[in-house]
Amino acid sequence: MANWYGTCRSNYVHVKNPTAFANWIDQFEAKLIEKDGRFGFYSENEYGDLPTLWEHPETFEELDEPMSILDKIHEHLVENEVLVVMEAGAEKVRYVSGWALAIHSSGERVELHLHDIYKLAQDEFGGDAQITEATY
């Protein structure tokens, strides 16, 4: 069995407090990035997926619920900013997966997944369309 490896990164957004945002990002296996006064991140963990904490960053005790870098990130955004995060990867060539999520400063979210293409294609081309999955 192969491992899944991917890439996860965000766009650049204005944040309320760059130091507080940097401290939030620093808790995770993620790299803070900056461009023209806007900030974002990309994953630096072993698999390249969404940075998530499984244990408390100071006590190293296991968390009851894993904490994603996205859980409270909207609290750092300037009003009406939208953070977009994308993740895509593959397990060798067996399958490709990916998603994108947009988080408004209010905390509202919208998301899509690459696998949604199958339903989209079926709806567009009809029930007789021959659509197989891009896997083996």
pTM: 0.88
Convert 73-111 to b/e letters by CB count within 10 Å (16 or more is b): bbebbeeebbbebbbbbeeeeeeebbbebebebeeeeee
The whole-angstrom separation of Cα 46 and Cα 6 is 9
pLDDT digits (tens, 9 = 90+) for 3-58: 999 999 999 999 999 999 999 999 999 999 999 999 999 999 999 999 998 776 66
Judged against a pLDDT cut of 80, whether residue 1 lies above it is answered with no
List the one residue out of 105, 78, 98, 102 whose CA is nearest residue 17: 78
